[in-house]
Chain A
Amino acid sequence: MIFLRLLNLLIGYVVFECNGYFIERFLNITAKRRIGLWGIKRINIATVRAKIKAKEFIQLKEVAKKSNTKIKIIHKRGLPFILHRYRKRKGFFIGVISFFLMLWILSSFVWSIEIKGNIKVNSEQIMQTLKESGILSGKLSILCNINDAKLRLLTNHKELCWVDVAIKGSKVIISVKEGILPPQIIPKDKPCNIVAKKDGQITFIEAYDGIKAVRKGDTVSKGELLISGVIDSTLKSYLLVHSRGIVKARTLTHLKTEISLKKTENIKTGLFYKRYCLQFGNLSVKLYLGDKIKYEQFEKNELINELAIGKDIILPIRFITEVFYETAQTTTEFTQQEGELLCEIAIKEKEKNELIGTLLERKITFKNENNVVICEGEYICEQEIGQEEKIEKNN
């Protein structure tokens, strides 16, 4: 219902009063002529108040004549009447239109580029690739080729496995996800040996293709031949195959973590104050007086708020809030026990990430040197140690 009222305001309507003896005749004639009336109320025995669309009001004159009634305008409401009232103030309308035009034009350019999600790949390298495909600050956003940028990023940087380039208003947001490089697989038609990745004692060896070079129980060092791809044959002098097999061995791994017992750091005292400034592209307008900061030791936190229409159209105007927190130096000390506990937690985290295979034995020792607790772990695991190595033909 409220939409109808808004619509009527937009189109413009008139509230009028009809005065006479034959009000019913007036109403019947308007109904017959398909003139829409609404909000009809009786004021007194000879008057009725009603609302009518501005465009249809002109037809009422004839109806009033036919029904012997008099029409009087009470209110004129709606957009057309407002425009008529201000029709002489052309400058105002020009100002409003030019404001929206400027907004639209300014947000058609790319003003800032944001790169999210990259850890190993350098942001500058990504910016360089984008420049090659034509996405720069200051360029019209419709001229930027998104698909070309995506393809270029994926081909130039092998570590990226997913790339998304989105243009939101005046901002280009690039989200990337890095993936683990697939291991170097030697193609099946090339002959290869299997060598040891690490030192260890063989627990299980089975060769599907190729000949075993070691037995269960042998100790091998890194790089030693496990399964040979060179087969001596009676018909030819030798035969080269692509060896395949599983080789498992017991290996020794060392992990180490350190925690220092005495920590001096700067902690916030709780006092802070804020400063504001506006930034238009490269121009920044300070909304405060004086540059000096009140505290001796402080930590600064900057909050950048980019103005945007809705969520998608980001304007090149930023509202920056700088918060200064006062800090003071404090020393925290841990006891030996607390230090050992923290060390143990850290080393468990490392174990999760770095140990592969099945864990057989685990030994952890703690040492204390110069107020630093060192935790060393020795792990014996059973893991796959086979690695393909290409056979080079020497002669």
Chain B
Amino acid sequence: MRKKINIREKKDNPLKKIGKIIELPQEFLEGATHIEIAGNREIIIEGCKGIIDYTEESIKLSAGKYAILIIGKNLEIKNLFDESIIINGFIIKIEYIF
């Protein structure tokens, strides 16, 4: 059975409510994964919970509720430290896998 994708907004907790009022960036408060892409040469991901797969052609990372799949050539991990990862190389495809 396919997993149902829940797009309905969940009930906001007090912190989120304050965040919305002061207009703080929502994503950081939710604790979501932050991805920065520079061209197709470098990706910086913060909030990565773990590496699922690592080869030269594809890297699959877990971001809690979903997974991020990066397909490319000569992929290298430039830096890895506790939830932050920088991936270098020739990136062809970036996919979210739910």
> Do A38 and B54 touch across chains, with their CB atoms under 8 A apart?
no
The yes or no answer to A27 lying at the interface (CB within 8 A) is yes
Provide the A71-90 mask, 1 if CB < 8 A to any CB of B, else 0: 00000000000000000000
Q: How big is the A interface, by class?
A: 10 to 19
For window 27-47 of A, CB contacts with B under 8 Å fall at 27-28, 30-34, 36-42, 45
Complex Cα distance, B79 from A34, in Å, reads 12
> Do B81 and A36 touch across chains, with their CB atoms under 8 A apart?
yes
Whole-angstrom distance from the CB of B50 to the nearest CB of chain A?
4
> Do A36 and B52 touch across chains, with their CB atoms under 8 A apart?
no
> Do B50 and A28 touch across chains, with their CB atoms under 8 A apart?
yes
The yes or no answer to A381 lying at the interface (CB within 8 A) is no
> Do A41 and B76 touch across chains, with their CB atoms under 8 A apart?
yes
For window 1-50 of A, CB contacts with B under 8 Å fall at 23-24, 27-28, 30-34, 36-42, 45, 48
The yes or no answer to B18 lying at the interface (CB within 8 A) is no
> Do A32 and B82 touch across chains, with their CB atoms under 8 A apart?
yes
> Do B81 and A27 touch across chains, with their CB atoms under 8 A apart?
no
- Contact residues in A for B78 (Cβ distance below 8 Å): 38-40
- Contact residues in A for B80 (Cβ distance below 8 Å): 27, 30-31, 36-38, 40
Task: Point out the residue from A31, A36, A42 that lies within 8 Å of B83, measured CB to CB.
Answer: A31
> Do A38 and B83 touch across chains, with their CB atoms under 8 A apart?
no
Task: Point out the residue from A37, A39, A48 that lies within 8 Å of B54, measured CB to CB.
Answer: A48
> Do B79 and A38 touch across chains, with their CB atoms under 8 A apart?
yes
Provide the A238-273 mask, 1 if CB < 8 A to any CB of B, else 0: 000000000000000000000000000000000000
Whole-angstrom distance from the CB of A191 to the nearest CB of chain B?
84
Number of interface residues of B (CB under 8 A): 16
> Do A31 and B82 touch across chains, with their CB atoms under 8 A apart?
yes
Task: Point out the residue from B50, B52, B79 that lies within 8 Å of A37, measured CB to CB.
Answer: B79
Whole-angstrom distance from the CB of B41 to the nearest CB of chain A?
14
- Contact residues in A for B85 (Cβ distance below 8 Å): 31
- Contact residues in B for A42 (Cβ distance below 8 Å): 54-56, 76
Whole-angstrom distance from the CB of A80 to the nearest CB of chain B?
22
Complex Cα distance, B81 from A91, in Å, reads 42
- Contact residues in A for B79 (Cβ distance below 8 Å): 36-38
Residue in chain A with minimal CB distance to B74: A41
Which of A39, A40, A48 lies at the interface centre, i.e. has the most chain B CB atoms within 10 A of its CB? A40
> Do B52 and A24 touch across chains, with their CB atoms under 8 A apart?
yes
The yes or no answer to B36 lying at the interface (CB within 8 A) is no
Complex Cα distance, B78 from A36, in Å, reads 11
The yes or no answer to B32 lying at the interface (CB within 8 A) is no
Given contacts A24-B52, A27-B80, A37-B77, 6 further A-B contacts (CB under 8 A): A23-B54, A27-B51, A32-B82, A37-B79, A37-B80, A41-B76
